[in-house]
Structure 1
Amino acid sequence: MTAALRALTAEPWAIRPDYLQFMASLAALDRDGRASRRSAEGEDWFRLDLQAAAGPTAQRLDGARYAMLTREGVAIVPVVGPIFPRANLMTEMSGTGTSAAMLGRDLQLARDSADVGAVLLMVDSPGGSPTGINALADQIYAMRGKKRVLAHVTGSCASAAYWLASAAGELVVEKTGIVGSIGVVAAISKQVEPDASGSLAIEIVSSSAPNKRPDPQSEEGAAEIRSLLDSIESQFIADVARGRKTTPARVRTDFGAGGVKVGADAVAAGMADRVQTYERSFRDLAQTAANERVARAVRP
């Protein structure tokens, strides 16, 4: 296991496990300047993609990091790539990673802007860190009744991304949209042989803190680690149940048990509301925004 992957897997993740390998490869990039160029190029391509989705007349929502405002009054807020609590080296290197803190600010701006009549969350993400996701899901859920918020899954909406999308007033998927992966994972490394330099790391913890370094190969250590993951998972499931208007028990039994469902199967399971194209989602929200403009015009 590389040092980069060890660092990534040291914390719990609400993400597709295979994506951790990809992020480790990004973290292990050489430091001769190519990473910075990749970041700039990734940012440029991402902006071009977002502009194409929003339309040629769309502009960055005033003060926002990600959100675009269309002339129809729809704020398009992308949830794309791995999700991190804050902007960091990984979001800069990937060019498309999402900062939960910045996403929360964009949503607040969209909520408070008189120019925004509806919000479209454009989701294509494998998930990410669970840190701050509960609060962000609460923020999205609290927008219900204030402005119409629709989460549209263009590709993958896994784990932490589904945690967020399930809080929206509506969740729709493309025919091949992937949703689910409800659960939390951690991969704990344990050095059992000397490394390439002949060194063997040995950790000694204080007498009253044996659970600071639980042994993942022992039953007690694995149970301690799983207890942490289960605590995060319980909140994850509770938030999904709230957003999807069902019970935690049904989420556990019918929402994939950590797996994913595609398109119509996700709708049949109650994980999404309907299958529809991005164009239909945008058109519906544009009509909502137009209705809001008319309503504001006639208010005293």
Structure 2
Amino acid sequence: MTNFPHLAQRLFNTPVAIHPHKAEVVMAALADRLGISHMFRGGELLALSPMAMEDDEIGGVFSRPGRSERDPGFDLVEGMAVIPVTGTLVQKLGTLRPYSGMTGYDGIRTALLAALEDPGVKAIALDIDSPGGEVAGCFDLVDMIYRMRGEKPLHAILDESAYSAAYAIASACDRITVPRTGGTGSVGVIGMHVDMSAALGKGGITVTMIRYGEHKAEGNEFEPLTEGAHARMQADIDTMGELFIETVARNRNLKASVVRGTKAETFLGAAGVTIGFADAVRAPDAAMGELYRSL
């Protein structure tokens, strides 16, 4: 069963590194699936409360229906470990492979370590098609991938795009290939605050926050966002954004000013190569063939 409430909790009122258009699509889809589509009018979010929903857990830890418990999390193809990185990226999914439209950083990490230790694996390919996802856990994984360089050939083969957090992961690899119609970039961080106070007021519902500590429950969805709370949330977003820029600059051997100058823009195909966000324009099968021949 798709875990929509769980996804809602991970996307709202928390910093995320995801393509803005994908964020809008997810917001609308969640509203429809959770039976609150009436809260959207003309594409605008009127109210959404992830805190008021029950959280159904996904199946067993590091398992996936139909797969062996010994599944390493990758497919071994002619000595190449192919690790799928697709859909929305989250910190902890509890599965080795993509599940319900999401991929967990925990699963990617485990699959990478398994591939690194497997003597039958001569090279590693991250098969990426993702708009990005959670900031939490992303940069720790990126640093781990960066430290893996030199152990075995490690390529990011985009099929079709790697945006935001997904691009952060791709940037840590030795080489990035992108299809003609694929994309790279969106090096930035966003936060989506949900304010339900007006909608609740119209429904005759008043929520009173009783707190100890001035900043307790700051930025909750039952009260309008104060200037102070907004400023503090913006400061956090700025800090994470700078970390993103510095990480990509290090990984791709670019000046931080060049990465910052993209202003979270996305780049189609060859434009990503020109800016330095990819190494070559290749169809996924051609890129896989090149990696195989290099062995």
**Shorter chain as normaliser: what TM range?**
0.7 to 0.9
SS of 2:23's equivalent? helix
> Displacement of 1:10 after TM fit?
1.2
Please say if residues 197 and 224 of structure 2, whose CA atoms lie closer than 8 Å, have aligned partners that are also in contact: no
Partner of 2:80: 74
Note if contact 1:73-1:117 (Cα within 8 Å) is conserved in structure 2: yes
Task: Give 3-state SS (helix, strand or coil) of 1:223's partner.
Answer: helix
On the 8 A contact 1:191/1:201 being kept in 2, the answer is: no
Matches within 5 A, 1:145-184: 145-184=150-189
**8 Å contact from structure 2 (residues 94, 107) kept in 1:** no
Quote the sequence identity (%): 28
The equivalent of 1:209 in structure 2 is: 215
Distance 2:247 2:89 in 1: 18
CA contact (8 A) 1:80 1:124 kept: yes
Residue 136 of structure 1 aligns with which residue? Answer: 141
Structure 2 residue 25 is the aligned partner of structure 1 residue 16? no
Cα separation, 2, equivalents of 1:232 and 1:182: 11
Q: 1:76-155, aligned counterparts within 5 Å?
A: 76-87=82-93, 95-155=100-160
Per the normalisation by structure 2, the TM-score is 0.77
1:295 counterpart residue number: none
The answer to whether the 8 A contact 2:130-2:163 is kept is yes
Unaligned runs of 5+ in 1: 48-58, 290-300
Which residue does the alignment assign to 2:247? 239
Give distance in 1, aligned partners of 2:269 and 2:69: 31
Give 1:26 shift: 4.5
Provide the residue aligned with 2:257 in structure 1: 249
Q: CA deviation at 1:268?
A: 0.5
Aligned to 1:261: 267
CA distance in 2 between counterparts of 1:18 and 1:282 reads 29
Aligned to 1:53: none
Q: What's the RMSD between the two structures over aligned residues? A: 3.3
Sort the Cα spacing of 1:194 and 1:154 in 2 relative to 1 into closer, same or farther, 3 A: closer
Which ranges in structure 2 are unaligned for 5 or more consecutive residues? Answer: 36-55
Of Structure 1 and Structure 2, the greater helix share is in 1
Alignment partners' CA distance in 2, 1:145 and 1:216: 50
CA distance in 2, matches of 1:213, 1:105: 34
Superposed counterparts of 1:54-65, under 5 Å = 63-65=71-73
CA shift in 2, pair 1:199/1:4, >3 Å: farther
Q: Is the 8 A contact 1:182 1:258 kept in 2?
A: yes
Contact 1:79-1:124 at 8 Å conserved across structures: yes
Q: Take 1:242 and 1:123, find their aligned partners in 2: how far apart are those partners?
A: 20
Equivalent residues of 2:187, 2:265 under 8 A apart: yes
What letter matches 1:148 in structure 2? P
Matched residue count: 260
Tell me by how many angstroms 1:154 deviates.
Answer: 1.4
Question: For the residues of structure 1 that align with 2:283 and 2:69, how far apart are their CA atoms?
Answer: 24
Deviations 1:194-229 (A, max 9, x none): 526421223244344378348875543322111011
**What's the offset of the Cα at 1:277?**
1.8
Contact 1:64 1:109 in 2 (8 A): yes
Given the two structures, how large is their TM-score scaled by the length of structure 1? Answer: 0.76
Cα deviation, residue 286, structure 1? 1.3
Question: Cα distance 1:17–1:60, how it changes in 2: closer, same or farther (>3 A)?
Answer: farther
